[in-house]
Amino acid sequence: MAAVELKNVRKSFGTVDVIKGVDLTIDKGEFVVFVGASGSGKSTLLRMIAGLETVSDGDILIDGKDVTFAEPSERGIAMVFQSYALYPHMNVYDNIAFNLKLARFGKDEIDKRVKEAARILRLNELLSRSPAQLSGGQRQRVAIGRAIVRNPKVFLFDEPLSNLDAALRVQMRLEIERLHRELGTTMIYVTHDQVEAMTLADRIVALDNGRIQQVGPPLDLYARPNNLFVAGFIGSPKMNLLPAKVLSAADGKATMGLDTSSGTKVDLTTRGASIGDAVTLGVRPETLEVVAAGAAVPAGLTALPARVESVERLGNITYAYLDGGTPEVITVQVMGHSDLQPGQEVQVGLRSDQVHVFDAAGAVMASAVGR
Amino acid sequence: MSSRTAPMRLNLGRFVVFATLAFAVCFYGIPLLWLFIAGTRSEASLLTDPPFALGTWEAFSRTWTNLTTYNNFQILTWAGNSLIYSVGGVLLSLIASIPGGYALAQSEFPGRKLILTLTLIAMITPSTAVVLPIFLELNLLGLSNTYAGLILASGFFPFGVYLTYVYFSTSLPKGVMDSARVDGANRFQLFTRIALPLARPIIALVAFFSFLAIWSNYFLAFVLLSDDKLYNLPVGLTALVSGSGALSNLPSNDVPIKKPEVVLAAILVVLPVLLIFMAAQRFVRSGMLSGAEKG
Ligand SMILES: Nc1ncnc2c1ncn2[C@@H]1O[C@H](COP(=O)(O)OP(=O)(O)OP(=O)(O)O)[C@@H](O)[C@H]1O
Ligand SMILES: [Mg+2]
Q: pLDDT value at position B8?
A: 62
Q: pLDDT value at position A297?
A: 84
Q: pLDDT value at position B177?
A: 93
Pairing of strands A16-27, A154-158: unpaired
Tens digit of pLDDT for each residue in B159-192?
999 999 999 999 888 899 999 999 999 999 999 9
Q: pLDDT value at position B253?
A: 67
State the distance from the centre of ligand 1 to the C-alpha of A43, rounded, in angstroms: 7
Q: Ligand 1 atom 9: the closest Cα is on which residue?
A: A44
Global pTM value: 0.82
Is the pLDDT at B295 greater than 50? The verdict is no
**Res. B2 pLDDT band, cuts 50 70 90:** very low
> Do the beta carbons of residue A304 and residue A347 sit within 8 Å?
yes
Contact A83 B293 (CB under 8 A): yes
DSSP-assigned letters across all residues of A52-77: SS--SEEEEEETTEE-TT--GGGTTE
Q: What angle in degrees, to the nearest 10, is found between the helix axes of B259-285 and B200-215? A: 170
- Closest chain A C-alpha to B163 CA, distance in angstroms: 21
Greater pLDDT, B247 or A100 = A100
Asked whether this complex has an ipTM greater than 0.85, the answer is no
Residue A101: what are its φ and ψ, rounded to 5°?
-65, -45
- Closest chain B C-alpha to A3 CA, distance in angstroms: 18
Count of CB atoms within 10 A of residue A262's CB? 14
Q: pLDDT value at position B32?
A: 87
State the distance from the centre of ligand 1 to the C-alpha of A309, rounded, in angstroms: 37
Greater pLDDT, A227 or B70 = A227
Pairing of strands A211-216, A65-66: unpaired
User: In 3D, which of A319, A321, A348 has the Cα closest to residue A336?
Assistant: A319
Tens digit of pLDDT for each residue in A100-111?
999 999 999 999
Q: Ligand 1 atom 12: the closest Cα is on which residue?
A: A18
Is the pLDDT at A371 greater than 60? The verdict is no
| A337: Cα within 13 Å, side-chain hemisphere | 2
> Do the beta carbons of residue B190 and residue B180 sit within 8 Å?
yes
In which region does residue A209 sit, left (phi positive, over 0), alpha (psi from -120 to 50) or beta (all else)? Answer: left
**Res. A6 pLDDT band, cuts 50 70 90:** very high
Contact B176 A87 (CB under 8 A): yes
Query: What letter does residue B191 receive in the DSSP assignment?
Result: I
Residues of A in contact with B176 (CB under 8 A): 85-88
Dihedral (CA of A64, A67, A68, A73) sign: negative
Tens digit of pLDDT for each residue in B73-122?
888 899 999 999 999 999 999 999 999 999 999 988 999 999 999 999 99
Contact A83 B175 (CB under 8 A): yes
Residues of B in contact with A143 (CB under 8 A): 179
Mean pLDDT of chain B: 86
User: Rounded CA gap, B40 and B43, in Å?
Assistant: 10
Tens digit of pLDDT for each residue in A49-95?
999 999 999 999 999 999 999 999 899 999 999 888 999 999 999 99
Is the pLDDT at B205 greater than 90? The verdict is no
Residues, CB within 5 angstroms of ligand 2 (ion): A 43
Q: pLDDT value at position B13?
A: 87
- Closest chain A C-alpha to B103 CA, distance in angstroms: 18
How far is C-alpha B49 from the chain's CA centre? 34
Is the pLDDT at B274 greater than 90? The verdict is no
Torsion of CA B47, B48, B49, B50, to 10 degrees: 80
**Res. A368 pLDDT band, cuts 50 70 90:** confident
User: In 3D, which of A195, A304, A314 has the Cα closest to residue A257?
Assistant: A304
Is the pLDDT at A124 greater than 80? The verdict is yes
Q: What angle in degrees, to the nearest 10, is found between the helix axes of B233-244 and B57-106? A: 140
Q: What angle in degrees, to the nearest 10, is found between the helix axes of B112-124 and B158-171? A: 130
Provide mean pLDDT across the span A272-279.
88
Q: Which range has highest mean pLDDT (A23-27, A366-370, B26-30)? A: A23-27
**Res. A168 pLDDT band, cuts 50 70 90:** confident
Provide mean pLDDT across the span A295-300.
84
State the distance from the centre of ligand 1 to the C-alpha of A44, rounded, in angstroms: 6
Q: pLDDT value at position B22?
A: 95
DSSP-assigned letters across all residues of A266-293: EEEEBSS--TT-EEEEEE-GGG-EEEET
Tens digit of pLDDT for each residue in B28-86?
999 888 888 888 888 778 878 887 888 888 888 888 888 888 878 888 899 999 999 99
Is the pLDDT at B294 greater than 70? The verdict is no
Dihedral (CA of A198, A192, A53, A81) sign: positive
Domains defined along chain B, listed by start:
73-294 (1.10.3720.10)
A40 lines ligand 1 (CB under 6 A): yes
Residue A261: what are its φ and ψ, rounded to 5°?
-65, -30
Q: pLDDT value at position B252?
A: 62
> Do the beta carbons of residue A365 and residue A269 sit within 8 Å?
no
Is the pLDDT at B125 greater than 80? The verdict is yes
A191 lines ligand 1 (CB under 6 A): no
Residues of B in contact with A83 (CB under 8 A): 173, 175, 292-294
